[in-house]
Structure 1
């Protein structure tokens, strides 16, 4: 026999169920609205750039097929002359990554809320990191080629300075998300700011910093091919030279060599990331 109490309990459960259902329906409505907006933005963007132009796309695919036929069979006749530029690209990426880390560490410490000495310095560091990563490495490479001449040096400088903006941002975010307990414990022992960073923060974030560094090295090696196009040395310089002389079979061979090297770099980077985890 049910009494007034059980009826009230049933009404309360029914009311809770209605609230949950209303909340779920409102969540679905918001998701559909956001998804529809994103879809409209994607379709408009594709239309603006011409991706929805079927005739142009089909013509382009036919031209690509013709180009691929000219690239086959790859010509490896000059492969012995590519090892030097390929080594330049490798050393360029390593030097650039090292430069990025050297620049990123102080910027990240100043650009993290829990380690920045002053709020004004925090905003200055964040602004500087934004500026560094907003300038494409290709533009930086052109500037450094004009400043220091052709070769791997302008490429390393361009990649390193551009990478510092992104690496510094990741470093700063890792520092900000560090567990506060070891930091407070270090401060409780009377440790100074430098000791707090050294003993309370770095042991926590070092694996993540190493992971970001290795990943950035992989990206820098790929980017070293691009900056070589503007005279910043490396295998990219050989690639653009073959393109300018319309030697597409040699272009295909260089691309295959780059692909093989990138595969090796990715495998080595993956092994290093596992090692630092």
Structure 2
């Protein structure tokens, strides 16, 4: 007779291997559905061309006295990310308190808040950008609005989790001393969640920098616009300098943001 512990171990292993088999079947099914003939015909040539552009970049495009250049495109991309992050970091605060679970709060109120944040996260930045391009026209303004609205969903979720995990001791102490809700919020809640809010906003800013570089491809401003023009013209040296510029900008911002987040936390 097998003991209960042995049976549990055998059952756990069977469940684990069953999960891996299902995942493997899904991966095989997904890859077999991809048409590789067109990819294999063009991937090699395009890859070699982009690599030649990276090793022989157009350094003259870094700065041009007149017209668009790399520096202006990167600054435009950074401005879109900064404005989009600021919009979302401010507007998501009421959504975060709405979705956060709290003692004595109705379950339907918390559930509706979480549903709204999930609904906002459903639409990718590209879809948001297309909508705002139709609403306000192509350019950086549409890109900033797209990033700002889309980021509300994710930042609101992270903010609400920070609110749920805060220490209830200071809040209960202030309530016991007769403090009202505004005083409790200002002196007990905000000082605890503010470092997390700043840390999450900086992390989202890193993501928005990358997203802003992509949104220009569909006309939402930033460095993506000259990149798609260079790709269409097969100007691989210009593609190379744009990619190098994006890599340098993202790397510097990641280093600075990571240092600030460590100091905050």
TM over 0.5: yes
Look up the match of 2:61: 78
Aligned length: 258
Bigger relative contact order (CA 8 A; separation at least 6) = 2
| TM-superposed deviation, 1:123 | 2.2
Q: Distance in 1 between matches of 2:139 and 2:191?
A: 38
Q: 1:175 to 1:236 in 2, by over 3 A?
A: same
Q: What's the CA shift string for 1:32-84, capped at 9, x where partnerless?
A: 52343144224423432348989888667634543445534222222211211
CA-atom RMSD in angstroms: 2.6
Work out whether residues 116 and 122 of structure 1, in 8 Å CA contact, stay in contact via their aligned partners in 2: no
Q: What's the CA shift string for 1:139-186, capped at 9, x where partnerless?
A: 110111111112211101000110010000000011111122222212
Structure 2: state its 5+ residue gaps: 64-68
| TM-superposed deviation, 1:226 | 0.9
Look up the match of 2:118: 130
Secondary structure, in 3 states, of the residue corresponding to 1:77?
A: helix
Structure 1: state its 5+ residue gaps: 1-17
Look up the match of 1:44: 26
Larger radius of gyration: 1
Aligned partner (choices 4, 11, 15) of residue 33 of structure 1: 15
Q: Give the structure-2-normalised TM-score.
A: 0.86
Look up the match of 2:250: 262
Per mean C-alpha deviation after superposition, the further-off stretch among 117-126 and 59-68 is 59-68
Work out whether residues 110 and 117 of structure 1, in 8 Å CA contact, stay in contact via their aligned partners in 2: no
Q: Distance in 1 between matches of 2:198 and 2:51?
A: 43
Work out whether residues 50 and 239 of structure 2, in 8 Å CA contact, stay in contact via their aligned partners in 1: no
Look up the match of 1:6: none
Q: Distance in 1 between matches of 2:110 and 2:251?
A: 39
